[in-house]
Chain A
Amino acid sequence: MLEVRDLIVSIAGNTILDGLNLTVRDGEVAAIMGPNGTGKSTLAYVIAGKEEYEVEGGEILVDGEDILAKSPDERAAAGVFLAFQYPVEIPGVGTMTFLRAALNAQRRARGEDELTTPAFMKRVNEAGAMLEIRKDFMKRALNVGFSGGEKKRMDILQMALLEPSVAILDETDSGLDIDAIRIVSEGVNKLRSAKRSFVLITHYQRLLNYIVPDTVHVMSGGRIVRTGGKELALELEQSGYRDFAPHSAAQPAAE
């Protein structure tokens, strides 16, 4: 379960998130939609613990525990996972070396035993098969020479291995063709569980045809300005975000 309360975040003196509230229950898939520049990716990065943002107020709770004082790795161990809009290429770091280091680091941080090689290989192979990732990709350096779709699939594979309690997908559909969206979405759907909260950040309704959300939130001016069911996304597809632009009448009056 993810609870964001009255979150105020700035970067270089500019307020990006301005008293944002959001609750995503266990098992819930919440979509966050909204125009460009409204702070959707900032929200994702702040939850994951990226350092250049200044949190000026509010709380972020994961399963009831405030994570704001934690480092990015401690948040990961606490169950936070961010699927990046642009997964980073890391030349010289083998994909398998990285996967194993990440999985074991989290297990150690939670006081669990490291996985044996056969157990690790089995889990990687299962996740790879589900996401239709070619085996030779696993022998390459992390994300190096991968297409946009392959990088996204590699991120979802990490999610499958790391089994987070709060998974944030930052524009996972951007730059993907229809086939890639289908494969990634099927992967995500298989990972839906009663214990896992999902936050899907997206511009377009299209992704939500594949991953059907329980709730849809519209974000504008650094806040959630409207919340509804999956039909809200269809409505937005028709009307656009015009009504939610920060300067329009739809913006709630400042308290």
Chain B
Amino acid sequence: MPARIVSSRTDAEVALADAYGAAKTRLPGGEAVRHLRDDAFGIFAGAGLPHRRVEAWHYTDLRSLMREALPVAARPNGSSLGAINGELAGRPSFGGGRLVVVDGTFVPSLSDALPEGAGVRSLADVLSEGRPELIDLLAARDFGEGDAVLALNAAMMQDGVVIEIDPGAEIVEPIEIVYATASAQPAASFFRSLVVVGDGAKVRIAESSIGRGGRAGQTFGCLVFKVGDRAEVGHTAAITRSEAGSLRLDSFVADLGARAQFDSFALVDSEGLVRRQLFMRFSGDDAKAQLRGVSLCQGREHVDTTLDVVHRGLGCEGREHFRYILDDAATGVFQGRIRVEKQAQKTDGKMMSRALVLSDEASMHNKPELEIFADDVACGHGATVGSLNADQLFYLRARGLDKRSAESLLLEAFAGELADEVGHEGLVARFRAEIAHWLGERTKAGKGSGGSKG
């Protein structure tokens, strides 16, 4: 959809323009970066916040859902960092190194050194240093073209981490990126991170969030992966336990080299509005990628997963599998666009979306799209929306499980099955625990279809 001139700007759009105007001279980066920011903000200003007439945002009308733009978070101070440090101390670490980003700012003093073969610097440093090849990767210009939210993130990016994995390096344990909220008042943060994985390297990146208070903020995040030839990359994201009223817009970009293997899983169990948009391109030949996700939604949550996958290389294999559990008056959105370019022969693609709707007021919008320009491919997609399987429920109850326990077991299985494929025991255990926590809260709240009778 072409950029539209928006005649009357909303309060949020005006506030974002003011914020950019006030921040642009202080934001990191030299002349080239300033141009990049101005160009990006131009895209945002021209299009405004995306609304339902923008096809990719049809089911998530950000223009009406985002009533206000919160002030940009200040740099974290000593006392707030102390609180974060306390919370981090209680979390088990996997030993692959933990990088902590507080209110959008990378804090080396809270972070670990990375294992041999991996290096990290702050985005601010990389932008100031101005190495053109890294700036180009960070800009990710040919992904999500025209997307106003991605552009806004590029214009406003404060900080983040830039991780480089040496060619051939094997990083055994996950490198964690932990996003923490320190600001006592709800605030906005804009962060962008880049992971450059050298040819033949192996690494796993695990994103998660912590923070006391202030979770009702607005986060505009972006993570860019540049995956070298024959590299094997795992990625997980836990988007969990934010507060009602929060807004989380995450963009994810992955550019895959030849014979690369890429595997990503995300768990969304978060209040407020969450949109994950994933832009992935199979640039080299014979690469394999799996994108999976589970969203657990209740209350008035709105959770949107939008995929834009491009097959350019020959013979690549793509698997996309997303599951939703929707309760109360929650809304789920799954949009998956797979584009197979003319030269991408022998593409093997399968996309699946499954939703369990537990309440009459919950809703699910599914929009799978295949655009195939090559003539020798095997691509398919499926989408189901339904309730729990009555035969399975009866089987479990006939063995003595009461209705709520039987439902919980089936829901846990539905969500846990995809988490189990993550391939790292510690991470699987974390996701399983998060799913069990969500189900436990649901049972405590007395939800589920009635009591033990039925």
Which residues of A come within 8 Å of B, CB atoms? Answer: 48-51, 71-77, 80-82, 84, 87-88, 90-93, 97-98, 101-103, 105-106, 109, 141, 158, 162
Contacts and interface: CB of A to CB of B under 8 A. Distances in A.
A234 B414 CA distance: 47
Chain B contact residues, majority secondary structure: helix
B416 A74 contact: no
Contacts of B412: 92-93
A101 B401 contact: yes
Contact of A82 (B398, B405, B416): B398
Given A72-B397, A158-B399, 18 more contacts: A51-B454, A71-B402, A71-B454, A73-B397, A76-B397, A76-B399, A77-B400, A88-B391, A91-B417, A92-B412, A92-B417, A97-B409, A101-B405, A102-B399, A105-B402, A109-B400, A162-B399, A162-B400
B452 A71 contact: yes
Interface string B363-401: 000000000000000000000000001011011111111
B413 interface: yes
B81 interface: no
Contacts of A74: 452
B410 interface: yes
What are the 6 A-B residue pairs with the smallest beta carbon separation, nearest first?
A: A92-B413, A92-B417, A72-B397, A106-B400, A76-B400, A102-B399
Which of A75, A81, A93 has most B Cβ within 10 Å?
A93
A105 B401 contact: yes
Contacts of A93: 409-410, 412-413
Nearest to A161: B399
Nearest to B420: A92
B202 interface: no
B400 A90 contact: no
Interface string B415-446: 01100100000000000000000000000000
B452 A73 contact: yes
B230 interface: no
Nearest to B414: A92
Contacts of B403: 71, 73
Given A82-B398, A102-B401, A105-B401, A71 B453 contact: yes
A97 B409 CA distance: 9
B159 to A, nearest CB: 39
28 contacts: A49-B398, A51-B454, A71-B452, A72-B398, A73-B397, A73-B403, A73-B406, A74-B452, A76-B397, A76-B400, A77-B400, A81-B398, A88-B392, A90-B392, A90-B410, A90-B413, A92-B413, A92-B416, A92-B420, A93-B410, A93-B413, A98-B399, A103-B400, A105-B401, A105-B405, A158-B399, A162-B399, A162-B400
A141 B421 CA distance: 14
Given A73-B397, A84-B395, A88-B392, A101 B402 contact: no
A242 to B, nearest CB: 33
Nearest to A76: B400
Nearest to A93: B413
Contacts of B409: 93, 97-98, 101
Nearest to A108: B400
Greatest chain A CB density within 10 A among B398, B409, B410, B420 is at B398
Counting chain A CB atoms within 10 Å of each CB, the highest count among B389, B400, B406, B416 belongs to: B400
A72 B410 contact: no
Contacts of B391: 88
Contacts of A82: 398
B400 A105 contact: yes
A158 B402 CA distance: 17
Contacts of B453: 71
Contacts of A75: 398
B292 to A, nearest CB: 14
A102 B405 CA distance: 10
A8 B451 CA distance: 27
Nearest to A72: B397
A214 B392 CA distance: 33
A42 to B, nearest CB: 14
A74 B106 CA distance: 56
